[in-house]
Structure 1
Amino acid sequence: MTSLGVILKTLADIQVRAIAVVMTLAMLSACAGRPEGVLVPQQVASAEKTSMVDVLVATTRRPSETPGVLFSGERDKGAHVTEIKVSIPPESKHKVGQVEWPSKLPADPAKEFTTVSVTPMTPQSAPAWLRGNLPKSRRVLVFVHGFNNRYEDAVYRFAQIVHDSKADVAPVLFTWPSRGSIFAYNYDKESTNYSRDALEDMLRRLARDPQVGEVTIMAHSMGSWLTVEALRQMAIRDGRVAPKIQNVILASPDLDVDVFTNQFSALGPKHPKFTLFVSRDDRALGLSRRISGDIDRLGQVDPTVEPYRTAFEKAGITVLDLTALKTGDSLNHGKFAESPQVVQLLGNRLIAGQTVTDSSVGLGDRLGAVALGAAQTVGGAASVAVSTPISIFDPETRRNYNDQLNRLGNAAGNTVTTAAGQ
């Protein structure tokens, strides 16, 4: 290697280390003050006026001997299933988008998330849980967490999303063996590969259950790789993804864009509807890109530029750009869960697979939606959201808009022809 090459490599290594240090400090500050063992069950008095979220949790993690930790970041053979009930503080003490972690144990249910019960189950007993928890919509929401998540992190975060979104679903969490360390990136990535078969099996069980009407999968960060890989495997084995799996939401997906292109193609023409949350200021994905060969990560792309704009349109993928959205997340990697607007959007529309680009979104003037291509067709400018930090790019609405323009153009042409004839 030339002297210049050595210098450039050294500078790149220093930059990556600097980013890692910043991310570590951010993670440490976020975890400061959390006691160990928050999953030890405790009673919550009915007078507390709390809300209850009942989650079915499947995991490929190894059981922990530490009380209240339940499962470690190490891998285990086979899957474990647990029912966990989590108490959410009253509205006056709970901030939408936030997890109020206990400052000490026992937790204070009046102002902190509290574990109410932990019930070990088996995969065979899951249908009984579904019978008691499926809503009238018969919809199941499966959540797959991302990199650097402990078991309790995934449980409490998912409980917060379910509560804040008010989604009409039976909540199922799949948690894979993450060591919960910023320095365990490669181990975590291999743990997602290790867990592909287990997630595929769980999704197939849900899809085959006659009680279940439809399944929506929401995955965050590195969990997006695991999710798309499991669906790809299913499509290869069965010839297609199970029809009941209708919607896939990828939030800040830590996915190589070239790899995702091949994965998506393998799903075949009868694939679920995909929605992406992206943010170009995602610092965690910035580091992932640097340590992964400097290839764009799917969660950091700009959907207004080529080749992504045309690729998303052809694939029928809806993209929500959260770059301008500001939350309390110093890494800008968890906006989908921390923003009240986005959490409400999840519950109102996305989890049910509905469009999010019309005026009936229900977020008032805080969320304006202009389909990708509308502004470009009319004035040549990039499509943006109106007076909002959320931009929505929906290929279906763009096509409908262009069809309307064509019809208007044809009608105008016919009018001119008729007038000329007179």
Structure 2
Amino acid sequence: MNAAKIFLTLALAGATLTGCSGAKDAKRAPEEAQAPRMSEQPEPASAVSDEQLKSKKKEKHETVRVFYGTDRNLTGSPHPKTYFGTRRASLSLGFCDVSIPENHEAGKLESPKIWKLEFRENPDKHVVLKSIEPASGSDFLLQLRQTIEESVEVEETPNGLIKVGGEAFIFIHGFNNSFEDAARRTAQIAYDLKFKGAPLMYSWPSQERGSIWAYKEDGRTAQWCEENVTLFIEAIARESGARKIHLIAHSMGNRVLSRALKNISQKLALTQEEEPLFNEVILTAPDIDAQVFKESIAPHIVQTAERFTIYSSSEDLALKASRVVNSYWHQRLGEGGSYLTVFPEYKKINVVDASEIDTNLFALGHSYHADSNTVLSDVRLVFQGIPAGERNLRSLLENLAWKFQSNRSLLGRAIRGTFR
């Protein structure tokens, strides 16, 4: 199947895939609204007024274009913040623009602060979802390929000239995230990594509420959308033209990604393909049953990528709560410290304990993958293919896992006279 056909299939997936289970899910409740057909494209959404568009004032921000796939419903709102809702729908494609202010700090998602008397978003001061533009499969592919091609650069090294850039990464968010949340986070990650290529995201219909009911509903939805996510990430890998494709999942998004990779591994086995489709797969703070992943998922997905990196932390309060909700004895893959899960049978899987990293208390120590500059710097090295032993990490369990060496731990060891 050629590129245009694959992406047309993506765009119209809802006609045959009303969820993960095909015809079976077609009988779901009426509230699971379907997205319009691509021939009935909705109007683009923009947070920028006509007056702002006419203004000649020099912008004090950069704009990051994020390509998206989503199976959220359209609300009918023209505003980017409320353009997509929380109900299940058909798979649709497009791109959105996100502002990064010139005074941006790595790891931050700058937003209006009441104590600063900021009552409105300002792209020159905040990370703002400026616009959303739906696209047909062919337009999506054309724009994506162009972005990837334009990112290729030639660098001089001691070994001669080499090509860099021309890559893509796909971010899959977790529980209690809106489309806007995912877009802002994807753009921030791409900007902070100085990523040379195309940032993409998949936004599944999370409930955007922090209740136990919403958590359990999100768990069901994470399973519902696996076929859509499988279709999306496989098409990107095969048709984008990127030199390298990386995947990043956060929290419950790891359930979504794990199931999709398991589906892809079964296809690879049937076609007897030996080359992995993806380069680096990063599982951050994975809210997934550690035993289930180790016994039922890892053996199947290791052949889909060149390397997997799992970031875990014992200071992740959100995962501690998740373990209680999911029965106390079912530890989560993203827990570190004494609960760290290692994979001695798979050299492709690296486990990094981020317990020593200073985290954002407002995020319950759960978003260190993107709000810690230390972790972001390590992710950048992962994307470059640098082995764990050559990064600023300390070996654990005879290289079965690794740990960040924070300033705090190094200082403590030095005071105790054990610094080596």
TM-score, scaled relative to structure 2: 0.73
CA distance in 1, matches of 2:287, 2:208: 16
Counterpart for residue 283 of structure 2: 250
- Could you tell me which of 21, 41, 47 is aligned with 1:40? 47
CA contact (8 A) 2:99 2:128 kept: yes
CA distance in 2, matches of 1:151, 1:329: 23
Change (3 A) 1:292 1:384: closer
SS in 2 for 1:182: coil
5+ unaligned residues in a row in structure 1: which ranges?
1-37, 362-367, 377-381, 392-422
Counterpart for residue 333 of structure 1: 366
Kindly provide the CA deviation profile for residues 44-87 of structure 1, in whole angstroms up to 9, marking residues without a partner as x.
Answer: 766233111000111000011233211001101x2111211111
Q: Which amino acid is the alignment partner of residue 387 of structure 2? A: T
5+ unaligned residues in a row in structure 2: which ranges?
1-44, 153-164, 411-420
2:133 is aligned with 1:90: no
2:222 is aligned with 1:208: no
Q: 1:88 Cα deviation (Å)?
A: 0.8
CA contact (8 A) 1:241 1:267 kept: no
What pairs up with 1:12-411 in 2 under 5 angstroms? 40-42=47-49, 43=52, 47-68=58-79, 69-76=82-89, 78-91=90-103, 94-102=104-112, 107-134=121-148, 135-136=151-152, 137-183=165-211, 184-209=214-239, 211-239=241-269, 243-261=276-294, 262-267=296-301, 269=303, 271-294=305-328, 295-302=330-337, 308-309=341-342, 311-312=343-344, 314-330=346-362, 331-347=364-380, 349-358=381-390, 361=391, 368-373=392-397, 385-386=404-405, 388=407
CA contact (8 A) 2:172 2:248 kept: yes
CA distance in 1, matches of 2:184, 2:99: 10
CA contact (8 A) 1:97 1:338 kept: yes
CA distance in 2, matches of 1:387, 1:332: 15
* Structure whose residues are more often strand by fraction: 2
* Structure whose residues are more often helix by fraction: 1
Q: Which amino acid is the alignment partner of residue 99 of structure 2? A: S
CA distance in 2, matches of 1:320, 1:341: 12
Change (3 A) 1:131 1:385: closer
Counterpart for residue 7 of structure 1: none
CA distance in 2, matches of 1:244, 1:234: 9
CA distance in 2, matches of 1:80, 1:216: 21
Change (3 A) 1:46 1:351: farther
SS in 2 for 1:99: coil
Kindly provide the CA deviation profile for residues 346-396 of structure 1, in whole angstroms up to 9, marking residues without a partner as x.
Answer: 23x1223332432xx4xxxxxx423334599xxxxx9755454699xxxxx
CA distance in 1, matches of 2:172, 2:280: 14
TM-score, scaled relative to structure 1: 0.72
Point out the structure with max Rg over C-alpha. Answer: 1
Identity of aligned residues (%): 27
Kindly provide the CA deviation profile for residues 167-201 of structure 1, in whole angstroms up to 9, marking residues without a partner as x.
Answer: 22210110000010111011111111111111111
Change (3 A) 1:317 1:233: same
CA distance in 1, matches of 2:268, 2:111: 42
Tell me whether 229-238 or 242-251 shows the greater mean CA deviation.
Answer: 242-251
Q: 1:249 Cα deviation (Å)?
A: 0.2
Q: 1:345 Cα deviation (Å)?
A: 2.4
CA contact (8 A) 1:312 1:318 kept: no
